[in-house]
Amino acid sequence: MESNCIKCSLRAKFEKNPKSFIGKFWRWHINFCPGWKAYFTSLSSEEQEELRKKYNFKKY
């Protein structure tokens, strides 16, 4: 089953404009979102590292 995080509209808005209010909201939101945690921890360590760099993400 594909995670909703892959097609999340808020994530798409972050990708388009990370400095927008919605983009900043999404980035803040992933720090505690259980869906993001499940998605992120299901990825390979290489994919996790890519996302860590891309989103400056340090949790999990």
Nearest to 14 by CA among 24, 5, 6: 24
Express as a percent the part of the chain with pLDDT over 90.
88
Residue 40, number of CB atoms within 10 A of its CB: 20
Mean pLDDT computed over every residue of the chain: 94
Give the span between the Cα atoms of 6 and 31, in whole angstroms. Answer: 16
| Residue 1: per-residue pLDDT | 58
Note whether residue 27 is domain-resident. yes
For residue 49, pLDDT over 80 is answered with yes
User: Residue 53's domain spans which residues?
Assistant: 21-60
Note whether residue 6 is domain-resident. no
Note whether residue 11 is domain-resident. no
> What is the per-residue pLDDT across 23-38, written as a single tens digit (0 to 9) for each?
999 999 999 999 999 9
Give the span between the Cα atoms of 17 and 25, in whole angstroms. Answer: 12
Number of domains in the chain: 1
Question: Which two structure tokens, joined as six digits, stand for 45?
Answer: 């360590």
Note whether residue 9 is domain-resident. no
